């Protein structure tokens, strides 16, 4: 039996201000295109079973265009592969905070899609001699999480769920927040022919038969860290997974990206004048292959003082931003060196200083302006401190 494992589509995700010719958000259109390309490939590969391991949408209330697009793609799968069941579970982004809110995922039951939203569902596909335990996010965060064990009676037993393995992706901030915790003890890999996971946006092997499929496009959190995670694991690009059972042989199926995330060469700004730094930035942009036009670009520059940042050629920076879909000039302040001695105590670091130092080095989403982010964080902390002094 061959199954297709997808996760974290995040349809409806919007980022940056660029619009399509029809007035939609360009990044939302890119992410939809990645799903369309995945459906094209699934139709060509003709798996016996198709699993979506959560976060089909980026929000509980997706846009009408995202709802309709998903309906069209699932309908293509049902028409092209009428004998291949489709199972969809709700991830944390698909799960409403209130039980009264409901979820749009149930709409797709009209297409014959098997959907698990709140509670675990065991679904038996007799023709495939396969049982699927579909465990949505909500089932894992309840007071009594279900026992994730197969019930014998079919040849193949598959678990699909949406959760977070401790430690995975935490060093670079690439694991999504808000996930249910899962462990090897909870899922018991040896009990299953295959475990299909969602929530972590990088394709990753937990065990030979336990995999995250990753997202189909680079999106929050920290797409730059996702590129580094992929490099660490010898992977390149986004994919979905084809899995052959009973051997649990996993084949990543690459999904071409509409546009690239380009990390330009890092610049060390210490001792450079604003003019010299302008020249270094221009020298990094000019030879970029591919060119920055219509791409998502980050340029890291370390050890840049506020005075130097203020006097840069901002007209040139605006020109880079106009060329790229998004151009982020990420200027990092100089490291503060603090000597620890046994003599007289030096100046103690204030809370705003601590917050500033932390925020200047924290991984951020690509659409955030670091300088403004740091300024607001320090300002809020300082305001809170002044309020406390006044109360006292």
pLDDT-derived band at 377 (thresholds 50, 70, 90) equals confident
362 and 220 housed in the same domain = no
136 and 42 housed in the same domain = yes
238 and 269 housed in the same domain = no
Nearest CA to 4 out of 32, 46, 36, 34 is that of 46
Residue the block writes with tokens 């979820």: 103
226 and 275 housed in the same domain = no
End-of-domain residue from the set 232, 255, 278: 255
299-301-307 Cα angle (round to 5): 125
Count CA within 13 A, CB hemisphere, residue 241: 30
163 and 120 housed in the same domain = yes
pLDDT tens readout for residues 342-364 = 544 444 566 777 777 777 666 65
310 and 328 housed in the same domain = yes
pLDDT of residue 344: 47
pLDDT-derived band at 381 (thresholds 50, 70, 90) equals confident
365 and 222 housed in the same domain = no
pLDDT of residue 392: 46
Whether the bond between 139 and the residue before it is cis, its omega within 30 degrees of 0, is no
Neighbours of 335 (CB within 10 A): 12
- Please state the domain count of the chain: 2
Structural domain that includes position 45: 2-255
Average pLDDT over residues 303-318: 94
228 and 375 housed in the same domain = no
Least confident of 54-68, 117-131, 342-356: 342-356
CA 310 to chain centre: 33
Task: Give 196's contacts (C-beta < 8 A, 6+ positions apart).
Answer: 3, 5, 7, 51, 53, 158, 159, 160, 161, 211, 213, 241, 243
pLDDT of residue 358: 74
120 and 146 housed in the same domain = yes
pLDDT of residue 167: 86
280 and 249 housed in the same domain = no
Please say whether the dihedral angle defined by the alpha carbons of residues 257, 12, 45 and 2, taken in this order, is positive or negative: positive
pLDDT at 31 over 50: yes
End-of-domain residue from the set 255, 281, 302: 255
Distance CA 354, CA 95 (A): 36
pLDDT of residue 367: 55
What is the CATH number for 150? 3.60.21.10
Q: In what order do the strands lie in the sheet with 194-198?
A: 121-125, 130-135, 156-162, 194-198, 210-212, 204-207
294 and 354 housed in the same domain = yes
Average pLDDT over residues 272-292: 94
249 and 281 housed in the same domain = no
End-of-domain residue from the set 223, 239, 255: 255
Nearest CA to 366 out of 227, 191, 211 is that of 227
pLDDT at 98 over 70: no
E runs forming strands in 102-256:
114-116, 121-125, 130-135, 156-162, 194-198, 204-207, 210-212, 238-244, 249-255
pLDDT tens readout for residues 185-233 = 999 999 999 999 999 999 999 999 999 999 999 998 889 999 999 999 8
Q: Could you give the dihedral angle defined by the CA atoms of residues 70, 74, 76 and 77, in that order, rounded to the nearest 10 degrees?
A: 150
**What does pTM read for this prediction?**
0.83
């Amino acid at each position: 039996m061959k199954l297709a494992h997808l996760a974290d589509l995040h349809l409806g995700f919007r980022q940056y201000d660029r619009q399509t010719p029809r007035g939609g958000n360009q990044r939302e259109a890119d992410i939809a295109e990645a799903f369309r390309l995945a459906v094209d490939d699934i139709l060509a590969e003709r798996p016996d079973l198709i699993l979506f391991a959560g976060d089909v949408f980026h929000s509980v209330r997706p846009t009408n265009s995202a709802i309709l697009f998903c309906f069209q793609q699932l309908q293509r799968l049902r028409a092209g592969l009428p004998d291949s069941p489709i199972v969809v579970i709700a991830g944390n982004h698909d799960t409403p905070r209130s039980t009264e809110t409901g979820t749009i995922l149930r709409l797709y039951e009209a297409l014959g899609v098997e959907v698990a939203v709140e509670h675990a569902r065991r679904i038996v596909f007799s023709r495939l001699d396969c049982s699927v335990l579909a465990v949505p996010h909500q089932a894992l965060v309840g007071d009594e999480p279900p026992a994730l064990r197969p019930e014998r009676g079919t040849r193949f037993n598959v678990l699909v769920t949406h959760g977070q393995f401790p430690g995975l992706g935490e060093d670079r901030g690439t694991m999504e927040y808000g996930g249910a915790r899962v462990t090897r003890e909870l899922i018991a890999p040896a009990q299953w022919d295959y475990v299909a996971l969602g929530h972590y946006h990088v394709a990753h092997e937990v065990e030979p038969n336990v995999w995250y499929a990753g997202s189909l496009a680079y999106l929050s959190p920290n797409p730059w860290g996702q590129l580094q995670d992929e490099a660490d694991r010898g992977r390149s690009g986004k994919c979905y997974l084809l899995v052959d059972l009973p051997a649990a042989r996993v084949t990543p199926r690459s999904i071409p990206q509409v546009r690239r995330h380009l990390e330009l060469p890092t610049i060390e700004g210490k001792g450079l004048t604003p003019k010299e730094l302008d020249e270094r930035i221009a020298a990094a942009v000019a030879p970029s292959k591919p060119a920055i036009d219509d791409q998502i670009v980050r340029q890291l520059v370390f050890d840049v003082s506020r005075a130097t940042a203020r006097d840069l050629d901002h007209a040139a920076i605006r020109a880079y931003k106009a060329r790229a879909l998004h151009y982020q000039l990420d200027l990092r302040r100089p490291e503060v060196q603090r000597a620890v001695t046994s003599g007289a105590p030096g100046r103690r670091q204030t809370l705003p200083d601590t917050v500033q130092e932390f925020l200047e080095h924290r991984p951020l989403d690509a659409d955030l302006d670091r300088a403004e982010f740091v300024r607001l964080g320090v300002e809020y902390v300082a305001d809170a401190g002044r309020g406390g002094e006044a109360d006292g």
